[in-house]
């Protein structure tokens, strides 16, 4: 996706994946920034990355999670573009006003809750851990997000890795009479079983491709201020890779 964007823009830049453990995240980020570079951070290192930068901005301050970093005047800056990605995907799904059902309590779920706050939507939560669920709702309430009943929710969002490697589904659709749309943050070839199942029930559904492209374009804007990301080229690259 970013390679396609760099080619379209004529930028002398490369984007490669680097596998690392949590203890190496801070020095790796600083090494890249010292070379006047930047990058993204994905699960499970977003919280570690938030503590590694010199300054957090935007949604990263609220989420305490950093997925985008770059160098600025010799300092390491971090932001979070996941919220913008979720909002763009929800807009594309044309979700009506109403509560959201969030599956998960990790960093991605926090981005979904923050997006719900921006839309003025209440949330219901599904989690395997009652302790994590309670802590999550306390955090979300500090954003002004109120708790809703699951059967009132018009949108369900999978913010877990369920369905990434197999046909498992994070949530059944029984007992959700108000549901009109489904957003799966997971993306994989041929989409996920959950998205296909939702469409089979007549629900509007999308996997995480739209989120990926939207948050990626926001990241590119941080690395190269003043440059307009080529969204069509980025989405075409994602679709070509995933089929």
Active site residues: 46
Residue 44: asked if its preceding bond is cis (omega within 30°), the reply is yes
DSSP state of 226: T
Cα three-residue angle 21-34-3, rounded to 5 degrees: 75
Q: Is 233 helix (H, G, I), strand (E, B) or coil?
A: helix
| 135, two tokens | 């802590």
Q: What are phi and psi of 61, to 5 degrees?
A: -65, -40
Residue 82 CA to residue 1 CA, distance in Å, equals 16
For the sheet with 68-72, list strands across it.
38-40, 68-72, 75-79, 55-56
Q: What is d(CA 243, CA 236) in angstroms, rounded to the nearest whole number?
A: 10
Question: How far is Cα 9 from Cα 3, in angstroms, rounded to an integer?
Answer: 10
- Report yes or no: 217 and 103 within 8 Å, Cβ to Cβ: no
Element (H, E) at 206: strand 204-206
- Cβ atoms of residues 169 and 200 within 8 Å: no
């Amino acid at each position: 996706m970013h390679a396609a964007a760099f080619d379209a823009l004529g930028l002398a830049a490369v984007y490669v994946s680097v596998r690392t453990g949590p203890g190496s995240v801070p020095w790796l980020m600083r090494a890249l920034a010292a070379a006047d570079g930047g990058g993204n951070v994905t699960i499970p290192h977003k919280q570690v990355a938030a503590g590694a930068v010199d300054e957090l901005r935007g949604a990263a301050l609220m989420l305490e999670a950093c997925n985008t970093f770059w160098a600025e005047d010799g300092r390491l800056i971090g932001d979070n573009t996941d919220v913008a990605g979720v909002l763009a995907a929800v807009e594309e799904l044309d979700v009506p006003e109403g509560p959201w059902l969030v599956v998960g309590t990790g960093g991605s779920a926090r981005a979904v809750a923050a997006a719900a706050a921006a839309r003025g939507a209440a949330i219901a939560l599904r989690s395997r851990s009652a302790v994590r669920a309670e802590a999550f709702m306390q955090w979300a309430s500090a954003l002004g997000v109120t708790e809703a009943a699951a059967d009132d929710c018009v949108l369900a969002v999978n913010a877990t890795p369920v369905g990434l490697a197999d046909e498992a589904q994070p949530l059944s659709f029984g007992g959700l009479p108000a549901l009109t749309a489904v957003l799966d943050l997971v993306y994989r070839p041929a989409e996920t079983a959950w998205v296909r199942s939702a469409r089979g029930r007549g629900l509007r559904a999308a996997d995480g491709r739209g989120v990926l492209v939207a948050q990626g374009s926001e990241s590119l804007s941080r690395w190269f201020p003043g440059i307009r990301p080529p969204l069509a080229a980025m989405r075409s690259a994602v679709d070509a890779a995933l089929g």
